[in-house]
Amino acid sequence: MTATKLTLNEKQWQSFCKILQGLSRQCFDADIIDGVIRQRANDTSAIFEVDITSMLDSSSFPIPSIKDHLALLKDLAGQVTIERGQNKVVFFDAVSPYTLPVANRKYLDNKFMSEQELDSILQSHPQRTTPLIRYIIEKTNLKRIRMALATFHAKSYKVVLDNNFAFLSLKQGDAKSKGSNVSMEVIKNIPLSQRATGHMYLSASPYKGFDYDGGIVWEIYKTENSVISKHYWSIGDVTATVYTRGVINNDPPELPQQSEEKTEKTLETPETKK
């Protein structure tokens, strides 16, 4: 932690706790290095990235087992100071200090991912190209998606590409569930930047994590039959981003293709997870 002591104002502290709460739904730990959080979800289906240097400068410290500490951290009020000692990190407001021993990073379940490692995953779907989908999911639809995910106990959602438009829907269970006709089409007529057909199942992680201040910008970057899905919006003065990966299947289904052998650990899709 380069800055051994820094103070967050009330708004910044609330945003920081909101980020931790979102991570706690998908990650056991939070690992902050040089003011950035960049790590995989517990099931490796998503990558979370939050640049909080505007609040934490170049601070570096882990918060293991987020859920065990979140309630007490959220209870700190007003201005909160974070001080890094040799073997501990102390959070304190005007009343109480809360001390965390510095955890050994090699024992964290959710380890920090370097920017180069993320770039290697995204390089086949460059962000500077025009996305197939760029759509703002309003807060009303976001709440509806979350409610449907909870009701259906779903781990993924389906996107149908129908020439010039896409449709987002959910069904009971997951991508491999059979025999259930319970479903909900949440968003219709999402414009596509180019004609495309097929369908894909994407991890629901982006909708189960962060509580954004508003809706979410949703972008899909396509290369041949694979996609990178990107969700982002603001939490306070910072932007939180979630990346997932998917494969487009043709409609009607073609003969099964041979699965690609993974040569390196990357984002798993709902259809590749066992």
Q: Say what the pTM is.
A: 0.88
- Domain spanning 133-247, CATH class: alpha beta
To which CATH superfamily is domain 5-113 assigned? DNA Polymerase III, subunit A, domain 2 (3.10.150.10)
Q: What is the pLDDT of residues 38-97, one digit of tens each?
A: 999 999 999 999 999 999 999 999 999 999 999 999 999 999 999 988 889 999 999 999
- What pLDDT does residue 262 have? 41
Dihedral of alpha carbons 98, 102, 105, 108, sign:
negative
Please spell the DSSP secondary structure of 90-130, one letter per residue: EEE-SS-EEEEEPPPGGG-SS----HHHHHHHHTTS-TTSP
> What are the tokens at 41?
């979800």
Same fold: 5-113 with 133-247? yes
Could you give the CA distance from residue 111 to residue 149 in angstroms, rounded to a whole number? 27
- What pLDDT does residue 261 have? 42
Q: What is the pLDDT of residues 192-222, one digit of tens each?
A: 999 999 999 999 999 999 999 999 999 999 9
Q: Which of 7, 12, 8 is nearest to 238 (CA)?
A: 12
Residue 23, pLDDT above cutoff 80: yes
Could you give the CA distance from residue 21 to residue 74 in angstroms, rounded to a whole number? 9
User: Domain limits of the chain?
Assistant: 5-113, 133-247
